[in-house]
Amino acid sequence: MENTNSEIKPFESFDNTFKYCTYGMVFSNIYPNKSNMKKRLYFYCFTLLFASPCLISYAYSCRFYIMAHDIFNLTRHLAVGIIILLYLFKVLYCILNTNKFENILNTVSCDIIDVNELDDGAKKLCAFFLKKAKVGQLVWSLLPIVIGFQFPVYAGIVMIHENIWKDYPHREMVHEMELPFVKRSKFDSPVFELFFFVSGIGCLILLPNFCGLDGSFCISTTHLGFKIKYVGYLVLKAFEDSNDSLELHAKMKHAIKCHQKALQFYKELQDFYGPWLLVIFIVTSSLIAFNLYQMYIIQQLHPKYVLFAVAAVLHMYVPCVYASNVTEFGEDLVVELYNVPWERKFEISAIKSVIIMLANAQRPLVFTGCGIVTYNMELFITVMKTAYSSYTLITST
């Protein structure tokens, strides 16, 4: 018989717990590894070089549509272009802020592993929050796949239909645009096949990035929620289970340390994700308005534009939900600290500790986009109203 000294632990590191998010970070070149920062920057530049034909054609097309006052094609182009710019921003931002990102992931990883040494109540609490985090990971695993694959798949379906039912079939590009160097032969071989391949690969490159960075925001904010709820749990257990003043004092001291760590983790999250949240606000508002305008012009619910609009709405809705949850957990902690059964252990030092924690917990835990926009459900409603206002403004011109 084999003797296994290593005990199986239910709570593992970040990489093993959130595998989809980890794979997304690795494949999208944003996994925070200090030792390969230069290599990732080189690969980022290589990606730009590889996609340069499409990027040049995109820029040329935007200029062409502006000169021609073609608002329909310009908004169609911008709806795709801002997604590309968002990807370029996120990758470069994560590479340049590797230390901040790494500290966040290490904190999550170490905290999850430490739960193995805690009591059953803390383990149940952690398991509950891990499920919520995995929901966010799943959303950012499936949503980008649906949106990203719609372009090459739609183009492929259209060309199959054209070849079956029409004598002179029309070729469909992954994203229709003007090609500056081959204006008259963009649908001829091998130019068409080359651009179709590069555009298709570009769609695949974009997908993991959302699962990596956007998914990590859901995971990190949910973990912050766990840290906050765990503080309330510690304080309650301290007053209920302590046998003497020394034990109560020690447990309250530990609870205060955990609370301070939670507040520090909140500051780290706000510092790292703040610029990204601001960019997301701008991008989603524009995307929704552009796609509403597209459907208004063609006077039908085109599947491509509907999917794009729904994705933009979800892209704003999901961060608002997870950010709002943190704010709610912070407000709940105030109530939990106020309601602790301090009368059971009338210890002055312990009561003073609760008062200090109450004072610190009074500060709202809100996530903002560089202090400009506050992420909550009110912001989501505001974005919907702003997008509709932009849509009406565009249609009136």
pLDDT tens, residue by residue, 52-84: 877 787 788 888 888 888 887 888 778 777 888
pLDDT band at 265 (very low <50, low <70, confident <90, very high): very high
Report how far residue 373's alpha carbon sits from residue 376's, in angstroms, rounded to the nearest whole number. Answer: 9
Provide the pLDDT for residue 124. 93
Q: What is the mean pLDDT of residues 39-44?
A: 90
Q: In the predicted model, is pLDDT for residue 181 greater than 70?
A: no
Report how far residue 88's alpha carbon sits from residue 111's, in angstroms, rounded to the nearest whole number. Answer: 31
Provide the pLDDT for residue 282. 86
More confident residue, 297 or 379: 379
Q: In the predicted model, is pLDDT for residue 4 greater than 50?
A: no
Q: In the predicted model, is pLDDT for residue 177 greater than 80?
A: no
More confident residue, 140 or 166: 140
The model's pLDDT over 99-139, given as tens digits with 9 standing for 90+, comes to 999 999 999 999 999 999 988 999 999 999 999 999 999 88
Structure tokens at 24: 């997304």
Average pLDDT of every residue of the chain: 84
pLDDT band at 178 (very low <50, low <70, confident <90, very high): low
Sequence length of the chain is 397
CA atoms within 13 A on the CB side of 348: 0
Provide the pLDDT for residue 7. 61
Alpha helix ranges (H) inside the chain: 14-17, 19-27, 37-50, 52-67, 71-96, 98-114, 120-165, 191-209, 215-241, 245-298, 303-338, 348-361, 377-396
The model's pLDDT over 317-361, given as tens digits with 9 standing for 90+, comes to 999 999 999 999 999 999 988 888 777 666 788 788 888 888 888
Q: What is the mean pLDDT of residues 389-397?
A: 69
Q: In the predicted model, is pLDDT for residue 32 greater than 70?
A: yes
Residues contacting 328, CB < 8 A, separation 6+: none
